[in-house]
Amino acid sequence: MEGFFKLVSYYKTQSEPAYCGLATLAVVLNALAIDPERKWKGPWRWFDDSMLDCCEPLEKVKVSGISFNKVACLAHCNGAEVDTYHTNESTQDNFRNYVISCTSSENCHMIVSYHRSFLKQTGGGHFSPIGGYHAGKDMVLILDVARFKYPPHWVPLTLLWDAMNTVDKDTGFYRGIEGAEHSNLLQSCRHDGWDTIAKYLSKKLQQLLSSEEIHNIQDILSVIVSSAPADLSNFINWVAEVRKQENGSNLVSEEEQGRLVTKEEVLKQVRETELFKHLTRWFLSGSSCMPNAILDGTDSLEKIASEVCCQGAQLLCGKVGSCNAISSKTTQFRSSDCDNAKSVTVVSANVILEDSECGAEMLVPSCRKNPGNPCECGSNSSDREHPSVVDGLTVLLLALPPDTWSCLKDAKLLQEFCDIISPKNLPDLLQQEILHLRKQLYFLVTDVCCSAT
């Protein structure tokens, strides 16, 4: 029961009938004391189910719930280290051992996905956290987030296993458990085009690489980019941090400044990779002139930020829907420690949502300008530039699993390319970011693949 008091302190009722997965995750993220790095209401930073807006649009979750893998992806996106176990890949004894291990720790919490009918309850598939284990009776405590239906209750572990050992008809996967611990990483997939990108990466890319005549790395890049979905250009959003507009405030806090510094170091390391240099040469060669200008890099920072701020305003103002109007401007804000910090680029936007106005701001990292980078975003008058699509594409390709490239027919070329994209050759900070993103992609791709079948 070591983790019980932390969980029960943050125990909440799901705010929508289909939000059991989101509410469960909010309880666990708060119990792990993970900072959402954004405000919830007033000055408070706190996870609420309405804030878990990436991996799956809230509108879709409200209608049809969320899958096991998308909950895992959400946990990963929001700073938790996640282990997942489907029942067809494990055993009842392994489940018991994991329950005992996790409930004996304050730093690990379990989420279970199960079917209510096995517990003689009304409803279908459901998520809830496990609050404890009774070794003498071999029972687990379920902290049901549908508290309008059921209070916390003890169930035999064997019965819960049976309720988990069922197939989710929407995905074709067996249900299971997720264990979450505290992590601290930068990457997020808060964009509704991720499913499209996942389909391309998991289905189409390998087919293209195996069917095309490919003789060198430039050929590989040409195949990847020229056939990519338009959503790929939105991967630049991986560096965005959105905050609520504060009246009269033009300061960037020391904490925000620290996160920007970390992101800027990641960008610097990205631009030092061999893959970034190959992509830059490919763009400069003129090969990037294609019918769908998905990676032309000519969008202004304001245009790029408009979508980010729109999504951010929906989240921060607690409204889900389309943005009716957006007006934005770019300003230079100073750090709260004005004597020691440089200016920070902030794009502020006034967004009209359901006939009411919400304000959001996007903090943008920058790095020293590289004269050879063909995809600059923002003003050319500064010696610094904001992240380009080439930066984002470099990160995305580095994060793809190694077997993505196994279809390349030229063994020598395959080895050369794998040496370039291998995480073991990357600096520690960038390597951490890449492996984190790779795990996110795994959850998304797995979910997309099973949905397609």
The pLDDT tens digits of the residues spanning 383-421 come to 677 777 788 889 889 988 888 898 898 899 999 999 999
d(CA 444, CA 446): 5
Residue entry with tokens 């790029």: 304
Of residues 10 and 301, the one with the higher pLDDT is 10
Cα–Cα nearest to 28, from 55, 7, 3, 53: 7
Determine contact, residues 178/87, Cβ cutoff 8 Å.
no
So what's the pLDDT on residue 420? 92
Q: Is the dihedral of CA 57, 62, 63, 67 positive or negative?
A: positive
Q: Please pick, among 76, 86, 109, 126, the residue that the annotation labels catalytic.
A: 126
Which of 173-183 are b and which e, b meaning 16 or more Cβ less than 10 Å from the residue's Cβ?
Answer: bbbbbbbbbeb
Q: Is 49 designated active site?
A: no
So what's the pLDDT on residue 152? 96
Q: Is 86 designated active site?
A: no
Residues present in the chain in total: 453
pTM summary value: 0.69
Q: Is 170 designated active site?
A: no
Of residues 343 and 360, the one with the higher pLDDT is 360
Lowest mean pLDDT among 15-19, 278-282, 350-354, 426-430: 350-354
Of residues 112 and 301, the one with the higher pLDDT is 112
- HSE-CB at 316 with a 13 A cutoff on CA atoms is 28
Cα dihedral 51→52→58→60 (10° resolution)? -170
> Going from the N-terminus, what domains does the chain have, and what CATH number goes with each?
2-182 (3.90.70.30), 194-451 (no CATH)
Q: Please pick, among 20, 55, 375, 377, the residue that the annotation labels catalytic.
A: 20
Whether 363 shows a pLDDT value over 90: the answer reads no
Q: Where are the alpha helices (DSSP H) in 135-273?
A: 157-164, 194-199, 205-211, 217-226, 254-271
Element (H, E) at 139: strand 139-142
Of residues 104 and 438, the one with the higher pLDDT is 104
- Over range 429-437, report the average pLDDT: 87
- Over range 191-204, report the average pLDDT: 70
So what's the pLDDT on residue 23? 96
So what's the pLDDT on residue 239? 61
Whether 376 shows a pLDDT value over 50: the answer reads no
Determine contact, residues 90/193, Cβ cutoff 8 Å.
no
The string of DSSP codes covering 333-389 is: EEESSTTT---EEEEEEEEEETTEEEEEEEEE--EE--TT-S--BS-SSSSEEBPPH
Q: Please pick, among 53, 54, 109, 144, the residue that the annotation labels catalytic.
A: 144
